[in-house]
Amino acid sequence: MLTGPGCPVDESFDPLSPEFLADPYAVMALLPARGAPVFFAPSIGYYVVTSYDAVDAVFRDPATYSAAVAQAPLAPITPEAQQILLAGGHKPQPSMVSLDEPEHARLRKPAARAFSMKRVTAMIPAIEATTARLLDAVRGQDEFDLIATLAYPLPANIVFSLMGVPEQDYAQLKQWCGYRAALGWGRPAPELQVEIATSMAAYRRYLRDLVTAKTRAPGDDLASDLIAIHREAPERLTLDEIASILFSLSFAGHETTTGLIGNTARRLLEDPGRWAEIAADPDLIPAAVEESLRYDPSVPAWRRVTTRPVTLAGVDLPAGARLFLWLAAAGRDEAVFGQPDEFDLHRTDAERHLAFGKGLHYCLGANLGKLEAQIAVTELARRHPALSLVPDQQFTFHPNISFRGPQVLLVRTRP
């Protein structure tokens, strides 16, 4: 893509490079274009938007900045993988997060109605019980991996139970869900593309069957709530659309929250004083989760595409310009947050972060995700007030641009 005059270009910026994946904040600090609210990155063919105000302006103007590329494959998908996806009903325009109005509202309205605060609040006992059960499994162990033990299975179990998936199917679903982020947000090799596409197609089919089953035997779950809405006016919400909403929720509600729990725990534990502080005063935990979303968000980047020529932060963008909204950089914008590179449990304005987006597409599961992270950290700190990181571990991250959290987080329960 050609960039107009006045737009800095950073040839070296590659959000899938090993250095970036290991520590994007080190790359951020050294960017030649630091201070440039918008620059072009040829490695991905996207304009990178870094300043809080510019990211905010994009989210607030959905007519100019379309969500159509939100899930678009970053690297081309092979014809074989594409065929598998299409045959499985995985349409190129798959779900609410990448639809513009009015199609977006058609899915968002019933989903928001079914995903009510009442339903989220009703999940609290299940989140607490699942957290306790998962932590019981490592009771007495001196060391364990917090991701495999808690941060991965907790949100998976919660989102599946919210949807109304029978418990005996969780393991299969988790297997289908593994690594799917690579397809839209990474550069997977052709063989991996086929593997992921096959799992996603199977998952799509499973969800359509689940919806059919719930029409016959409704339960107290979100799928059944959506079916009730469908029955009020079948043409306004079809059964296929219900399956699509469930796909969105289960995709959006899983690794995002795993990352949030992992990042929050990592940031609290990397300074032993911080962990001691929240263990002594659990009322600080909601603020800790909020600060983690600002300082090290589990969705560090999201995408938009321009529908017309527009000037953003002084840079002229053509129609069709693809934007990499660097939410993690917006959280470190010193024009908005004092001492942005410091993790501060007592910051009063952390919740201004843009980690859940803003406007029409604002994350539907923000409350649920935060609640899960708060409950997970609270129970962890209650059981293990002297928890620490196993020293000298190298954190690794899944190679994709939008879902970030340590893949393994080894913790020690005794000093």
Task: Spell out the residues 6+ positions from residue 59 whose beta carbon is closer than 8 angstroms to its own.
Answer: 65, 325, 354, 357, 358, 359, 361
The angle subtended at Cα 19 by Cα 14 and Cα 20, nearest 5°, is 50
SS3 110: helix
Chain centre to alpha carbon of residue 414: 32
User: Smallest gap, in angstroms, from Cβ of residue 358 to ligand HEM?
Assistant: 6
Cα-based distances in Å from 24 to 169, 320, 347: 36, 27, 22
Tokens of 389: 């990181």
Total binding residues for ligand HEM by CB under 6 A? 28
In the window 291-320, what residues touch ligand HEM (CB under 6 A)? 297-299, 302
Q: Phi first, then psi: give them for residue 145, nearest 5 degrees.
A: -90, 115
User: Smallest gap, in angstroms, from Cβ of residue 118 to ligand HEM?
Assistant: 15
CA-derived radius of gyration, the chain: 21
84 or 265: CB nearest ligand HEM: 265
Q: Phi first, then psi: give them for residue 40, nearest 5 degrees.
A: -100, 135
Q: From the list 51, 71, 193, 256, which residue makes contact with ligand HEM (rule: CB under 6 A)?
A: 256
In the window 124-183, what residues touch ligand HEM (CB under 6 A)? 159
371 binds ligand HEM (CB under 6 A): no
Query: 């913790």: which residue's tokens?
Result: 411
User: Smallest gap, in angstroms, from Cβ of residue 361 to ligand HEM?
Assistant: 3
Binding segment (CB under 6 A) for ligand HEM, from list 128-136, 273-281, 354-362, 390-398: 354-362
Query: 């527009």: which residue's tokens?
Result: 310
Residue nearest to ligand HEM (CB): 365
Q: From the list 186, 188, 340, 369, which residue makes contact with ligand HEM (rule: CB under 6 A)?
A: 369
Cα-based distances in Å from 30 to 15, 20, 50, 82, 341: 14, 11, 14, 38, 13
User: Smallest gap, in angstroms, from Cβ of residue 176 to ligand HEM?
Assistant: 17
Position 225, amino acid: D
In the window 72-101, what residues touch ligand HEM (CB under 6 A)? 96-97
Q: Dihedral sign for Cα 83, 206, 301, 388, please.
A: negative
User: Smallest gap, in angstroms, from Cβ of residue 139 to ligand HEM?
Assistant: 27
59 binds ligand HEM (CB under 6 A): yes
Residues 172-211: x where in contact with ligand HEM by CB under 6 A, - otherwise, as a string: ----------------------------------------
SS3 379: helix
Q: From the list 74, 84, 210, 368, which residue makes contact with ligand HEM (rule: CB under 6 A)?
A: 368
Binding segment (CB under 6 A) for ligand HEM, from list 77-85, 130-138, 183-191, 361-369: 361-369
Would you tell me which residues interact with ligand HEM (CB under 6 A)? 59, 67, 96-97, 108, 159, 248-249, 252-253, 256-257, 260, 297-299, 302, 355-358, 361-365, 368-369
